[in-house]
Amino acid sequence: MAGFSPALPIHRNSEDGYALNKTMLDVIKQNFKNLVLTNPGERIMIPDFGVGIKRFLFEQNTTETYNSIRGAINQQTSKYMPFITINDIFFSTDQDDTLHSLAISINYEIVPLEYSDVLSLNV
């Protein structure tokens, strides 16, 4: 069966040989996640592409850091995926501070498809 793009991470399946994104919704969701996870300078021929969420790993756990992350996500989304509207971005840390991680939930809408979803990442 045909698909629009390979599903990431690339893996084999018995149906197509390799798993594919078979709807535009799956492609957009995958591309949005890649936009957030890609570091600027990592994408060939587009040096300013990507939020680079992992570059915030060792920043202080402050409102200023959250605002920087929020601004980078909004700026990159409006530039490279203008058909997505960011509704809200939530941050949460582990309560006992043993995992030293930050959970980010991005509530967004794909306007042309009238579809809302949440992208959740642990950094």
The Cα–Cα gap between 65 and 121 comes to 16
Q: CATH number of the domain that 30 lies in?
A: 3.10.450.40
| Angle (CA) 28 10 90, round 5° | 45
> What is the total count of domains within the chain?
1
State pLDDT tens for residues 52-85: 998 888 888 889 999 999 999 999 999 999 999 9
- pTM for this model (two decimals): 0.84
Per residue in 11-67, pLDDT (tens digit) is 777 766 778 867 788 889 989 999 999 999 888 999 999 999 988 888 888 899 999
Q: Which residues contact 9 (CB under 8 A, 6 or more apart)?
A: none
Strand runs labelled E in the chain: 5-6, 12-13, 17-18, 20-21, 84-93, 102-110, 115-122
Range of the domain at 99: 5-122
